[in-house]
Structures are given as C-alpha cells and as structure tokens.
Structure 1
Amino acid sequence: MLTKEIKDSIDESVLCWLATVDEEGTPNCSPKEIFTYFGDSHILIANIASPNSVSNIKSNAAVCVSFVHVLKQKGFKVKGKATYVSKEDGGYKAQFDLLESIAGEAFPVKGIILVDISSAQPIIAPGYFLLPDVDEASQIEGAKRTYGI
C-alpha cells in the first residue's frame, strides 16, 4: 500500500495532519510533528500531546492522515484504522525505538497511534492543474516567494 513515492513524501514532510471523530461524530484535525511509516502498510504517529486524538481513536478507529511538502505543494492523504499503543503494551519496541529516534529528547513519546492503511490518494495543489506551464520547480519558486524564503 505504501509505495516508494508515498514513503519519500512522508520522509520530506514536516507535519502530518491526523483527522479523527469523537463519540458524538464531531471531527477533530490536529498536527503531528513526529511520524513515519512502518513497513508497507502502517504509519506511526507519536503521541506527544494528543489527548483528543487518542480518546477519539479509542471510540472510533477510522482516521485520515495527510501530509504535504510545503514547497512542492504535493503529498498524500491516507485513510485507515488506528489503534493506540502505550509503552506498557508489549511487542512494539521497534516502533517506539523508531519514533524516539526521530523525536530525540525534546519530545517525549507517550505512545503510538498506529494506522493500518486501507487507501491512499495524492494531494496536489490546484495550481498544477489550473495555471499554464506550472511544474514542480515553478511551484517551489512560487511557494518560496509566498513564504518569503
């Protein structure tokens, strides 16, 4: 499910956005700074400060994760079922080690939001389709101008 292109996009993205739904059906979308892929069908997201996301996942496992390279303005949206794994749960040492190596000492990993992916779709900024002669290089240059980089 996770192609090389999707994995590369995860590696170059700074944040992902995790969308969950609570017991009443109210959506919640929150940024997650520490995330990566695990194998070909899972995304790992560190629970650093995510009480709403964790609570929502415990009552409704359906989630959507999106990530976009801020300059290329391309990325992916993946959907799946999430489970929450605490440090006390056995069998997840490799996953914790991977997230902790990304987080370093600055971000204490309290647990893992483990997303079992069922589908993936590209996210591409409308400028690629609507503006003439837009390619990745020109999109990056335009984003740099917009952000003052």
Structure 2
Amino acid sequence: MIEITADMKAIIEQAILSFVATINEDGTPNLSPKASLMVVNGVLYFADIASPQTIVNLKRNPAVEINVVDIFQRRGYRFKGRALILPPGDDEYLMIANWVRATNGPEYPVDHVVKIETTSIIPLLSPAHVFARPPRSQDEIRNTYYQKYAVKPIGA
C-alpha cells in the first residue's frame, strides 16, 4: 500500500468532493461523487451514505479509482487500488462513521465504510500548470480561478 502524503491529504480536504470509479457487472464504469473521502494515518477511507451501486460493484470487484482535484489550484491526484469494505463495529468503521455524523449530523446514515489499499498514485495537473508560458505560480493560478468562479477565499 502506498501511503498518502501531507500534500495529498491537503488537496482532499480542500477539494471536499471526490469521484469514486468502480466497474459495473456489464463492464461499464460507475462514477460516484463522495464528500466523505478522508485520510487517517496515511490511509484513504470513504463512507457509503447513498451509493448502493458502488458497494455492489466493490463486493464483486474491489478495483477502484478515486479522482480528487482542487478546482482553484487546478491540481489533484488519481488514487488507484483495492477497496476493503469494513464491517460495522470495526474500529476503523466507527472512526469514519463518527466523523461523518459529527460533520454532517446524526441523521446521516453510514451504510458502509470503505478502506482503500492504494497501489498507484498519479498527480493530476491541468493545462494551466503544464502549458502556460511563461509558467505561472500556484498563487497566480489560484487567483485566476477565484476570479473565474467569482469567489473569494474565506477571510479575504
């Protein structure tokens, strides 16, 4: 398993929304948005709150890919690996379930918790990083996209 770095964790926390790809029985992709992706002790986890097809797919085939991109920094990561569905009552399950409920409210169901054994991590960079000439700093890129989306950072 490849450990998640501090930068990867920061991107996950800043982006909030990630996308989990699994494989349907007919071989087609299933893409499910997740706001519950988190890193604990260098390991990825997410909660199944309303994604029954994701869990059906992972029970049949544990192959998974998760994409996370911070839209303002225009960078992120692609995590590939194997999913392990944790049983209710497991310490790791309870840790994630308790975090979801503390963050979103006690009414949020946590039907499953999934632990990811990462086998590959690839950085994702938008053309804003790759093709800009002269190269732009991360601050310039971030400020460009704050303006584009008409938002201001908290505290600004």
TM normalised by structure 2 equals 0.84
Q: Tell me the secondary structure at the aligned position of residue 84 of structure 1.
A: strand
Return the alpha-carbon distance in structure 2 between the equivalents of residues 93 and 32 of structure 1: 18
> How far does residue 36 in structure 1 lie from its aligned partner after superposition?
0.3
Partner of 2:96: 95
Superposed, 1:124-135 pairs within 5 Å as 124-132=125-133, 133-135=135-137
Structure 2 residue runs of 5 or longer lacking an equivalent are 152-156
**RMSD across aligned positions (CA):** 1.8
Equivalent position amino acid for 1:49 in 2? A
Find the counterpart in structure 2 of residue 15 from structure 1. 17
Contact residue 16 and residue 66 of structure 1 kept, 8 A: yes
* SS across alignment from 2:84: strand
> Deviations for 1:79-108, whole angstroms, at most 9, x for unmatched residues?
110122342x54433333334333333532
User: What letter is aligned with 1:61?
Assistant: P
Contact 1:83 1:113 (C-alpha < 8 Å) held by counterparts: yes
Residue identity matched to 1:22 = N
Query: Which 4+ residue blocks in structure 1 deviate beyond 4 angstroms?
Result: none
8 Å contact from structure 1 (residues 44, 99) kept in 2: no
User: Residue 122 of structure 1: SS of its match in structure 2?
Assistant: strand
Residue in structure 2 matched with residue 65 of structure 1 by the alignment: 66
Percent identity between matched residues is: 25
1:67–1:76 contact (8 Å) kept in structure 2: yes
Secondary structure in structure 1 of the residue aligned to 2:19: strand
Greater CA drift, 103-112 or 74-83: 103-112
Q: State the 1:15 CA deviation.
A: 0.4
Paired position in structure 1 for 2:119: 118
The TM-score normalised by the length of structure 1 is: 0.88
Deviation larger for 1-10 or 74-83 = 1-10
Shift in Å, 1:122: 0.9
User: Offset at 1:45?
Assistant: 0.8
Equivalenced residues, count: 147
Q: Which amino acid aligns with 2:39?
A: Y
8 A contact 1:35–1:99 mirrored in 2: no
